[in-house]
Amino acid sequence: MTDTDWSVPETEVLAEVRDVLESDLQGVLATIIDVEGSAYRRPGAKMVIPEDGDGVGHITAGCLEDEIRKIAGDILAEGQPRVETYDLRPDGEADVWGLGVGCNGVITILLEPLDESYRRVVDAHEAGEDTGVVSVVESDDPGRVGARAYYDPATDALRAERIRSRSTG
């Protein structure tokens, strides 16, 4: 990944997800889930970080990628998804101009280890089928963060994956 290819197509990101799933490597998927103020990328932007490389995709124009790569190692070691929020506003100020450009906002990112539960997304994409992903990003039970369900618009069905509590109590 270079500093100039921060806007790769989602098809390349999904191809990297498949490559990680089909290899012996582990990887992390980082997805922007919320933006307040200005940011180059909006919710839904993704980045895949395989354990042996830089990754594919960007979640910013370079403002957070190094930090996300560092955190990816922690995610892989812990095996648990988590949500990180970064306030990139100068001195915590709001975007006074309201232009919505640059890395001057609050960006919230879901980081999750890639596992077989994500295969449904890449299979649907390869088959040209629509699918929706619903992920738990906040819960009173931290063990539910990262739980996922898939929506199939052809059948109007929602199927749960990874809906389980990882808490010990």
Mean pLDDT by 10 residues, the chain (169 residues): 59 90 93 87 90 84 84 92 87 50 80 89 87 84 82 82 43
Q: At what angle do helices 10-21 and 119-126 cross, to 10 degrees?
A: 130
Could you give the 3-state DSSP secondary structure of residue 15? helix
Residues pairing with 113 in the sheet: 28
Predicted local confidence at residue 7, as pLDDT: 66
The structure tokens 């990874």 sit at: 162
Predicted local confidence at residue 166, as pLDDT: 37
Q: At residue 154, what is the residue type?
A: A
Residues pairing with 69 in the sheet: none
Q: Kindly state the tokens that stand for 169.
A: 């109590």
pTM of the shown model = 0.80
Q: At residue 76, what is the residue type?
A: L
Half-sphere exposure of 57 (CA within 13 A, CB side): 24
Distance of CA 149 to the CA centre of its chain: 15
Give, in order, the Cα–Cα distances in Å from 72 to each of 27, 116, 141, 153: 8, 18, 22, 32
Q: Kindly state the tokens that stand for 115.
A: 């596992």
Predicted local confidence at residue 139, as pLDDT: 86
Predicted local confidence at residue 112, as pLDDT: 93
Predicted local confidence at residue 98, as pLDDT: 47
C-alpha–C-alpha distance, residues 139 and 162, integer Å: 14
Predicted local confidence at residue 113, as pLDDT: 93
- Residue 133: name the closest of 4, 12, 17 by CA: 17
